[in-house]
Amino acid sequence: PGNVGVISIGKTSTVLTNLGANQKRAVLAEIRLDAGITDGGTLKRLTFKVGGTIAPTAITNIILRDPNAAQFIIDSSRLGPGRIVDNALGLDANGRVTFTFPMQIMSLPAGSSQTFQLTADIASTAKTGETIQVFVEQDADVVVQNSAGYGLSVNISSYDNSSSDGSDATWLSIY
């Protein structure tokens, strides 16, 4: 997994379904972080750009989950597959959502992979045909520190939407 000394981010092979208006805990993206074989570290920050034609205010209660971990229930409104890693009320003014991990809880050892799901509530105001695009805009949006506290190199080219066709981002539609 990953390149030597580099943290890489990309889509998983999971096929996501299109979303409906007023859908709760809809899966917007499933991504994987891969640590290089010589360097691992601790995930400190992960920022996603959520674009498309849907109004940013139509995406709320955003949750980052570890779908492979045992479920940790905070309250019944957040039930779903996997452990909740972090959450945000909504997108910022630029259509971005940032998750931060100040504690040493998100370990990414050398040669390992970690899968995350981004889920959210879709408002009833979402219209059929509107699109949602999820990707990482820049390397600095993924921060992984080694044990000495230095940031590791990050490769986002497999999840940066540079192809503008959904092959290197998650593209979904409202049905």
pLDDT at 8: 95
Residue 37 has what pLDDT? Answer: 87
Residue 77 has pLDDT above 70, yes or no: no
Select the more confidently predicted residue: 20 or 6: 20
Mean pLDDT of 75-94: 76
Residue 21 predicted with pLDDT over 60: yes
Grade residue 2 by pLDDT with cuts at 50, 70 and 90: very low
Tell me the DSSP string of 50-96: EESSS-GGGEEEEEEEETTSPP--S-GGG--SSEEEEEEEE--TTSE
Average pLDDT over residues 124-134: 97
pLDDT at 67 over 60: yes
The structure tokens 């959210």 sit at: 120
Dist CA 17 CA 19 (whole Å): 6
Which pLDDT score is estimated for 146? 87
Position 150 scores a pLDDT of 87
Q: Where does residue 7 rank: exposed (0-12), middle (13-18), buried (19+ CB within 10 A)? A: buried
- Position 106 confidence tier, pLDDT thresholds 50, 70, 90: confident
pTM beyond 0.85? yes
Q: What average pLDDT does this structure show over 12-26?
A: 93
Mean pLDDT over 159-171 rounds to 95
Closest CA to 18 of 138, 128, 156: 128
pLDDT band, very low/low/confident/very high, at 80 (cuts 50, 70, 90) = low
